[in-house]
Chains A and B, each alone.
Chain A
Amino acid sequence: MKLRDVAHSRSGDKGAIVNVSLIAFDPRHYASLVRHVTAARVKDHFAAMATGEVVRYELPLIGALNFVVHGIVGGGVTRTLALDAHGKSLSSALLEIEIPDDEWSR
């Protein structure tokens, strides 16, 4: 299974910092997201795209996590030579993270 099966995401940029949200389709899955999708896991997953730290913020009331990804390779929206200078597509990269098949049934 992938995160895409249980959650949705949107990313936005502020210069060389990009935030990527992760929102459970079913709020009951929030605790499992907290357990599986750590800041370290996301940092590792984004290693080719960002070199800085990843900070995770928790929003239990809406069943969401917010990842702030520092050090986007290439310097962010106005400097980077990257095709997706804003990092808008990082949300789709996050949702590719593999998760165990169990614990997501209702």
Chain B
Amino acid sequence: MKTIRIGCGAGFSGDRIEPAVELAQKGELDYLVFECLAERTIALAQQARVRDPDGGYDPMLVARIEAVLEECRKRGTTIISNMGAANPNAAGDAVRSVARRLGISGIRVATVTGDDVRGLIGTADFVVMETGAPVRELGDRLVAANAYIGAEPILEALSDGADVVITGRAADPSLFVAPLAHEHGWGMDDWAAVGRATLVGHLLECAGQITGGYFADPGRKDVGGLDALGFPLAEVPERGPVVVTKVQGSGGAVTPATCKEQLLYEIHDPAAYITPDTVADFTGVRIEQAGANRVAIDGATGRRRPDTLKVSLACRDGFVGEGQISYAGSGAVDRARLAAEIVVQRLKRARLRPVEVRCDLIGMNSLHGSGVGHSTRPYEVRLRVAARTSSLADAQAVANEVESLYTNGPAGGGGATRSAREILSLVSTLIPRELVQCRVRAEVV
């Protein structure tokens, strides 16, 4: 029975490149997928494209492709990635430039567009899922609207012989579903097969998170060789269990425990994991050790895909100013609290009226408030003041009030830092899938 080897060389935009190179060299892969788009990443990319019409794709695209293209070419490994972000066609051009620079010829680079639906989002009465308000009311605050597109256009590119496929906002698992359907000849309406492929994508899409990254807890969950953490690959036969593993000799661990954590990562109802390709059902999944760093996974299925696609909407939503400063020794906590009070009073005095102010004592209550845990007084504590404001100038003023605690606040404050930035908030809407027309464009270098 034919078995496809598919690896994941990135789990987010800023992910490490070395493990991807290791996968390309030693993974004996049929496909190498790079998943690099989070909801906010694409909004930032849209803003980058506004500044530079040839920009707006993943800032690490060139470095990643440069690092693996020759190896993938040599071994016949097809590359699939959503690193096209807000500008897949420009990303395709960048990939072709890398190929030319490396002296590689004869490769077919395909790009998928159509996920950018900003043009049509204002034309009908779409509703913001989180608030129930019309999308139209977002007005010029809306900076990006990207639909989560599925595996079909990627499948089209692969059927057309692509060696590299670059997309924008394709759903993460779809990057894996397309090559598996392509190789095994599954119809996109074979919901059980698509559900099974969706599980493979879901497990691999965060790269190191299934090979021991984001897992270690010394004494309870020890993981060896984390500094040389390997990225995952799956062996996917046409039917039966899928094996998740990593390159032999790489660091980290693939165990039933790492796979279980990743199975439920960012999942709500495990019987209804909704993607553009299917409504996957993971409730029947069984996970078993199948050798050292080999885990067999079986039992995922799927139901008919939804008639709508989810659209991620990014909106300008004010500014955040933030400052931090540390205090140590006996009385550190009291001094940090006094410092917080001073900042809040000074903001009032300056009539800054931030929309919202938050003061945390890092080391005591910054992550979970005072609700969980029994904090004794720490030797040192770091005050963090963050405020939402309506202008960048006000955000800077908030940060300034924290920094100026140096000479205008309690004794012994040190290590102040400050920042001010615009924030993009994200909401979503659903649109009929037939409104989203994807286009595949391929060019041979």
Q: Which residues of A contact B (CB under 8 A)?
A: 4, 8-10, 12-17, 19, 21, 23, 25, 45-49, 55, 57, 59, 61-64, 66, 68, 74-75, 77-79, 81-84, 89-90, 93, 96
A-B contact pairs, 23 of them (CB 8 A): A8-B217, A12-B267, A14-B266, A16-B130, A19-B268, A45-B371, A45-B372, A46-B372, A48-B370, A48-B371, A57-B271, A59-B285, A61-B284, A62-B263, A66-B267, A68-B269, A77-B426, A78-B40, A78-B424, A79-B317, A81-B357, A93-B368, A96-B372
Give bound CA distance, A54 to B140, whole Å.
Answer: 35
Contacting residues, chain A, for B371 (C-beta < 8 A): 45-49
Residue interface mask B249-282, A partner, CB < 8 A = 1: 0000000110011111111111100000000001
Contacting residues, chain A, for B424 (C-beta < 8 A): 78
Beyond A48-B369, A81-B387, A93-B368, whether A14 also contacts B356 by CB under 8 A is no
Interface residue? B3 (CB, 8 A): no
In the complex, are the beta carbons of A57 and B270 less than 8 A apart? yes
Distance of B143 from chain A, by nearest CB (Å)? 12
Interface residues of B in 353-383 (CB under 8 A from A): 356-358, 360, 362, 366-373
In the complex, are the beta carbons of B40 and A77 less than 8 A apart? yes
Beyond A14-B266, A15-B130, A93-B368, whether A23 also contacts B261 by CB under 8 A is yes
Contacting residues, chain B, for A59 (C-beta < 8 A): 264, 270, 282-283, 285
Beyond A21-B264, A49-B371, A83-B367, whether A78 also contacts B317 by CB under 8 A is yes
In the complex, are the beta carbons of B368 and A49 less than 8 A apart? yes
Residue interface mask B44-62, A partner, CB < 8 A = 1: 0000000000000000000
Beyond A8-B257, A77-B426, A93-B372, whether A64 also contacts B264 by CB under 8 A is yes
Interface residue? B97 (CB, 8 A): no
In the complex, are the beta carbons of B220 and A12 less than 8 A apart? no
Distance of A17 from chain B, by nearest CB (Å)? 7
Distance of A20 from chain B, by nearest CB (Å)? 9
Contacting residues, chain A, for B393 (C-beta < 8 A): none
Contacting residues, chain B, for A63 (C-beta < 8 A): 260
